[in-house]
Amino acid sequence: MKRITRLLNGSKQPKSSKRNIKNSCTPLAVPLMPSTNIEPSLYKGPDYLTLQKIKEKHIVPCIQQYYKSPILIHEGKMQWLFDHKGKRYLDMFGGIVTVSVGHCHPKVNEEAKKQIDKLWHTTNIYMHPNLYEYADRLTSTLPGNLKVVYFLNSGSEANDLALLLARVYTKNYDIISFRNAYHGASPYVMGATGLSMWRFEIPLALGIHHAMNPDVYKGLWGGKYCRDSPVQTTRDCDCTNGYCQAADNYYGQLEEVFKYSLPRGKVAGIIAESIQGVGGVIQFPKGFLKKAFELVRSNGGICIIDEVQTGFGRTGEYFWGFEGHGVVPDIVTMAKGIGNGYPLSAVVTTPEIAELLGHALHFNTFGGNPIATAVGHTVLKIIKEEKLQENSEKIGTYLLLELSKLREEFDIVGDVRGKGLMIGVELVADETTKQPLPAKHFVDIWEDCKEMGVLFGRGGFNANVIRIKPPMCITKEDADFALVVLKRALQNHYNNHKPL
């Protein structure tokens, strides 16, 4: 498949390639979607063109839909979505990593309906059993002294509150985040987000410092022993199975931030994702985050882990992504999968840190809503009863290992990474320089997958990473279908762009 790389770069085709071009170009059978007994209801809403006109007239232009012809989603059941014409799609993105136990899971629906018939809303100025029962159940999943919870509605709100708590508790102001990080779009946390396309030209990052991102695929250091993943990079490095030199090197860069950018080295806190999500499923080298936390705490700061995308068993081996780093944070933020699509988020911290919120009035009208907490509690029960964490590890590992084989067939597949059902496939124009695959070519592949019935996400700084984060209920049969579709789309792309 060297041909496709050379073609995209406008270079001549080399005389030989380490890969078998003939075998890579063998036509694949038309992918057959796994069978299901689910039948969508008949769509009776406004027609497609009418809705498009309403969107153009009344919806803010920043709301951009996926695909050249956006899908009008009508119904969802577990891992499946149906458009207004009844066409079925395998959802491999889970509503942006939000549908954890399955679209319209019958047990979640049942509990939500029960609560709707009893009580919609009181606010937490009154006592309600759902709030307290759920708080007890949720905090029992966390280690150490992480025992106090504040419920909110979104990940941005949760991270916003976490930064406030860090500054109030430590009486320091400066926060460390990472380049390529995403922590939300509210004005406060937009400053912590290290992706320029998510930032407006207004003062945002006051007191926030973006450290070098420890990316072992594209960064300065990293190689084949660095990631906590079934799949490693193809880079060589000086690391060994028991020691990661890349972690030490990136830690040295973090020390430089303390040395040159912080007032007398003092810091309010650090915020980090267990695995960077929007940034393209970037995993820190093994041991790095533990050293980073020790450095922050030794300089008066506290440690915040953003589990908005990685929590609730998605990474498979652990219920919380941070457990894979061998750390216990001072604050954990969570959203998305916590409510399986229902607006719900939470900040969990220690009693000592939580006590500081009582120094001024602080209130969230919808935090701890009876319906939201009923849904959240049910999601926790389903994850345990249906062994979805175990399924994430089993199916996720299978997917990662199978996806890694695509690197041997297609030069444009530069990297495969992740853990559990938190997976990224980075497409490149050049496997040596890691130059991103041009947007037109990426979109061709992405759209082709959609036409064959699989919906993948898209991310990374250059939007060249296929994000695979489906509902955790997917089966091996579903995984095989997604694999065949992606391989077919890559095959089609090569056949459409090969030299004459």
- How buried is 333 (Cβ within 10 angstroms: 0-12 exposed, 13-18 middle, 19+ buried)? buried
Per-residue confidence (pLDDT) for residue 11, from 0 to 100:
36
β strands within 17-154, DSSP E: 73-77, 80-83, 88-91, 148-152
Position 61 scores a pLDDT of 86
pTM, to two decimals: 0.92
Separation in Å, CA 96 to CA 99, 372, 382, 470: 8, 19, 20, 9
Domain 2-92+408-497 has CATH 2.40.50.100: no
Cα–Cα distance for residue pair 413/404, rounded to 1 Å:
9
Both tokens assigned to 15? 């005389």
- How confident is the model at residue 4, as a pLDDT? 39
Contact by Cβ (8 Å): 434, 470: no
Residue ranges of the chain assigned to CATH 3.90.1150.10 = 2-92+408-497
Q: What is the pLDDT of residue 498?
A: 64
Give the Å distances, CA to CA, from 159 to 98, 183, 271, 305, 333: 17, 7, 9, 9, 6
Amino acid at residue number 299: N
**What whole-number distance in Å separates Cα of residue 81 and Cα of residue 88?**
6
Which amino acid type is present at position 425?
V
Fold of 107-385: Aspartate Aminotransferase; domain 2 (3.40.640)
- The reported pLDDT for the residue numbered 255 is 96
pLDDT tens, residue order, the chain (500 aa): 443 333 333 333 333 344 433 344 555 566 889 999 999 999 999 999 999 999 999 998 888 889 999 999 999 999 999 999 999 999 999 999 999 999 999 999 999 999 999 999 988 888 999 999 999 999 999 999 999 999 999 999 999 999 999 999 999 999 999 999 999 988 889 999 999 888 888 888 789 999 999 999 999 999 888 999 999 999 988 887 778 999 999 999 999 999 999 998 899 999 999 999 999 999 999 999 999 999 999 999 999 999 999 999 999 999 999 999 999 999 999 999 999 999 999 999 999 999 998 888 788 889 999 999 999 999 999 999 999 999 999 999 999 999 999 999 999 999 999 999 999 999 999 989 999 999 999 999 999 999 999 999 999 999 999 999 999 999 999 999 999 999 999 999 988 876 43
Q: What pLDDT shows up at residue 29?
A: 62
DSSP string, 219-286: SSS--TT--SSSS--S---S-BTTB-HHHHHHHHHHHHHHHHTSGGG--SEEEEESSBTTTTSB-PPT
DSSP letter string over 340-356?
A: TTSS-EEEEE-HHHHGG
Instruction: Indicate where the chain has its CATH 3.40.640.10 domain(s).
Output: 107-385
Q: Give whole-number Cα distances, 60 to 49, 54, 55, 57, 187, in Å.
A: 18, 11, 8, 8, 18
Q: Is 208 helix (H, G, I), strand (E, B) or coil?
A: strand
Residue 392 CB contacts under 8 Å (≥ 6 apart), including other chains: 313, 314, 315, 316, 420, 421, 472
pLDDT for the residue numbered 333: 98
Cβ atoms of 379 and 312 within 8 Å: the answer is: yes
Q: Which two tokens stand for residue 120?
A: 């919609």
Is 112 in a helix, a strand, or coil? helix
How far, in Å, CA of 163 to CA of 156, rounded? 11
285, two tokens: 């080298």
CA distances from residue 71 to 36, 74, 212, 429 in whole angstroms, order as listed:
21, 9, 38, 28
